[in-house]
Every structure is written in C-alpha cells, then in structure tokens.
Amino acid sequence: MTRYIFITGGVVSSLGKGLASAALGALLQARGFSVRLRKLDPYLNVDPGTMSPIQHGEVFVTDDGAETDLDLGHYERFTGVPAARSDNITTGRIYQEIIARERRGDYLGGTVQVIPHVTDAIKEFVLSDAGGVDFVLCEIGGTVGDIEGLPFFEAIRQLGNELPRGQTCFIHLTLLPFIPSAGEMKTKPTQHSVKELRSIGIQPDILMCRADRAIPKDERRKIALFCNVRETGVIQALDVDTIYDVPHAYHLEGLDAEVLSVFGIEDSPEPRLAQWHNITSAIREPEGDVTIAIVGKYTGLKDAYKSLTEALVHGGIANRVRVNFEWLESEIFETGDTAYYLEEVNGILVPGGFGERGAHGKIAAANFARTRNVPYFGICFGMQMAVIEAARNMAGIENAGSTEFGPTDEPVVGLMTEWMKENELVQRKANGDLGGTMRLGAYDAALKAGSKVAEIYGSTAISERHRHRYEVNMGYREKLEAAGLLFSGTSPDGLLPEVVELPSHPWYIGVQYHPELKSKPFDPHPLFSSFIAAAVEQSRLV
C-alpha cells in the first residue's frame, strides 16, 4: 500500500520545502522504506525550460528529457532515486492537457471547470506511476494563500478524504521569526498560516517550524494548542552548517518517527545514517581547501547553478577538501585584466548558458586556463567557448564563432537541426518554439580508449544528461585535432562531439552534457572528483 505525504509551505517562500522533502525521503529510506518524490508547481509555464535562471534558478533535467524544477535535484541527491517527467507538473501543463481534451471533445459538451476537471487532473498526476513504493512525497510549490496555488490545495484536500483513512499525512513548513528589538520569537505568523490552511479544509498533522534558534518548550506548546496539532508534531527545523546534516538534524527532532506515527507504523527500525555522518564529517573536517572560479552569467542568483555547486562539494567530499567558490560574472573579463581575477584560483569552471552576453569573457577565462596550466572544466556552453578559443588561438581560425551570436564566416559552433534519439530522427527548425525543443535527457557517448576522460570514467561507454540546441561543428575536428585539441568523446555513431580535452594540459576538459545532474554526496560524479583532485595538485604548486 502506497502512502502519501503532502508538504506545504506558509508565511514566506524559500523556507526549504524542497530540502525538507528530500531529507524526509532520505530518512524513510534509511529506515528501509522505498520512496518517490514529486513537485507540484502552481505557475502557468508549461515547464521551467523557458524561464530565466535569474528568476527561477536552474533547470533540472531528467533521464527521460523533462525540464523540471530544481527541487527534483535535491530529491535525487538525497535519495538516489532518478526523477522522471511524471514527478513534476505545473499549472501550465495541466491546463494545456485539459484544453487539448476539451478541443477533442473528450468532455462531451460539458462545462470545463477548475472543480472537478483541474483538481481531478492534479489528483490523477499525484496518484499515477507510483511504482508500488511505500511512500510518495508531494511538495506543493508556493505559499498557502497564493491564489494560483488554490487548485493544488483543493486537490490534496480531496485526496485526504478519498484515500483510505491513515494513508495520508499533511506537513506544513512555516517560519518562526525572532524579533531582536522585542527579544522574542513570534508564533503569530505560523498561527495565521495554519489558519489559512485550515480554511481551505486541510488540517496539518505536523508543523515544521523554521527558526534560527531553539524554540522554547512553552512556545511549542502554544503552537500546538493554537494550531490544533499534537505537541510532538511541532518539529523545530533549525539552520545547519551543511544541507547534508539536515536528515540527521530532523531525525534528532523526531520528524521521521512522528510521520510514521501518523500512519500508525510503530515497529520501524532506527534509521541507518552512517553514510550521512561520513559525508558531514568530510565536510566539517577537511584536510585542505581549494578555490574554484565559477565564470558564469547568472551569478546574481546562486540557485541558477545549484546542481553545479553541489557537485563541486561532492568532489570535495571525495578528496576530503573544502571547496571555496569564487563567483565571477563573465562580462568582467571583457574589459578587465583576466589574471587579476584568476591568478589565485586552483581551478576554473565555465558552466552552461545561453546567448552572447558574457561569451567573450568565458573565452578569455578558457584562454587563461589553457595558457597558465590551470585546471579547466567547461560544461555545455563552457565546452563550446573552449573550442572557439582553441580554434582562434591554436588552430589559427581567427573568425571562429557561434551561430548562436549571429551570422559568422567560421561557424565552429552551430545550431543542431537533427539528431538520433532511440533510433528515431529528431528534427528542429531555427525559428521553431524554444520550449522543450533542445536535445534533452540521457544520451549515450563513446569515449576514446586511452584518453584522460576514459581513464576518469574507467569506461569507454557512458550515458549523461543533455540540455542544448547548439553543437560544436565536427567539420572543424581535423583542424582542431591537428592543433592539439582531442575530441575524446562522441555520440556512438561518431557524428556529434561529446567531450574535448587537451592532452598537453594537466586537466583541461570540456563536455557537451551536464554531469552535475547525476552527482550525489554519497556517489560523487567522477569528473568532479577528478577536477577537484587536479585543483588540489595545482594548489600545491602555487
């Protein structure tokens, strides 16, 4: 029997519902249960694929090619359960499907309404493709009281009544602010948030109260009394020094035990948290540190690179070093002295991105790394800029450029118009829709035997997740390889480049895919482990 846990948020956004959901999933796993995590997003976009990273944060991509909310990255990193298209839905996608049904005449002339048609579609999503797991955790995006979230709250309210008794649990995450001038922690925002939730018809079973200090027992008792929750169901969710301590911290507060109590499960073994203790130990007791420059164009919002920074932390865990980040807006290299900003770093990472803004700065960063023997990791757009830099300065192709920036005499990087996916030809037009039209999801790649990247993976056959619509032009491969840049990974048919490296350099690798999406704290991605190891070596030379 699959049980359902619904996680909602109140008071303010960005309290950490995604992390709370992921940590609870990890705790239930540690007790021997199987889990599946899902995210319900109230915005009208069909998916986050066309949203600015500065507004929304990174776009997480699944193996089956879905562009999803970044919280699915938290779910995967904490539980190791691969997310899928069926684990993230938005209001836009629901309405798109309902309108398509209405146009086909599926409703037989009936009036299409929010209740029951929209709420039924949400419930259908929540209950579908559960795979027989013990627990499905559903996080509802936004904050209770938001008008766009009402259909989702109504849908889970209905599920609370429709599913058998004892098969649902409602968790509400709120904020307990401390007012310095009064010297008091205030419970009123939480009371109002729960009142709003109860007015919709949902009575929370558990309250997770975010706070920056311990919640006095009297305040917990007051919250329980005014919010109609058992005192043991008032869980303090305090700030911690690393997100990977959240499962242990929540276990100490009794979250997992309280959840199981809601379901009437009393005989579960204690969770096995040894791997989480090992991870936090490596983070808190490093044997050294390295500084990595992240040369990007969305550095104003660190969530735009969430999986990337976590993958670098995982590389640090693998090498038992602390990874410090030097966030650098790539545009500064277009007018300033590159060496001034990069002289002291131990590694340079140029991540993915779209558009011409900041591209020349990324090329300058790649040039600095190549000529100064600083470890360089180019991901997606970062690989393409490294190839353009090599074309200009190693192969003598002075006008090398990308058609993404406009017409060019030397299109070293160009728009992809067709590729193979599962033995089917996929085609795209230059003036077509932007949403969902990239080369998305998991694709196989063949690595060149004896190359550095094959040595790092320990294999010549890999599968990685992609998200791009431009590709390095293989027509330039011969010139580039003659100049010293090795195409060490391609698609299995040899038509599309996947990896480039510089054999003469200590560590200089560019990949067209996004390896950060598959890295986990208990299973760091080999490329990030190797990159940080190279940065450690570089730090010893400085």
Q: Which residues carry out catalysis?
A: 380, 514, 516
Amino acid identity at 492: P
Question: Prior bond to 116 cis, omega within 30?
Answer: yes
| Distance (Å) of CA 21 to CA 74, 113, 238, 398, 402 | 9, 31, 15, 51, 41
| Distance (Å) of CA 479 to CA 134, 511, 525 | 56, 19, 31
CB-CB contact of 48 with 73 (8 Å): no
φ, ψ (nearest 5 deg) of residue 2: -85, 130
- Angstrom distance (rounded) from CA 215 to CA 228: 18
CB-CB contact of 497 with 471 (8 Å): yes
Structure tokens given for 362? 């990324």
- Angstrom distance (rounded) from CA 459 to CA 493: 17
Q: How far apart are the first and last CA of the chain?
A: 59
CB-CB contact of 484 with 505 (8 Å): no
Within 332-460, strands assigned E span 347-350, 376-379, 400-402, 410-415, 418-421, 424-427, 439-447
Strands 206-211 and 234-238: parallel
- Angstrom distance (rounded) from CA 331 to CA 297: 8
Handedness of CA 246, 78, 308, 450 (dihedral sign): positive
Structure tokens given for 456? 């790092």
Amino acid identity at 484: G
User: Angle formed by the axes of helices 150-162 and 119-127, to 10°?
Assistant: 60
Structure tokens given for 237? 């969710």
What is the CA 524 to chain-centroid distance, rounded?
A: 15
CB-CB contact of 502 with 373 (8 Å): no
Half-sphere exposure at residue 541, Cβ-oriented, CA atoms within 13 angstroms: 14
- Angstrom distance (rounded) from CA 471 to CA 381: 9
Nearest to 73 by CA among 521, 537, 400, 517: 517
What is the CA 248 to chain-centroid distance, rounded?
A: 22
Residue 261 neighbours by CB under 8 Å, 6+ apart: 232
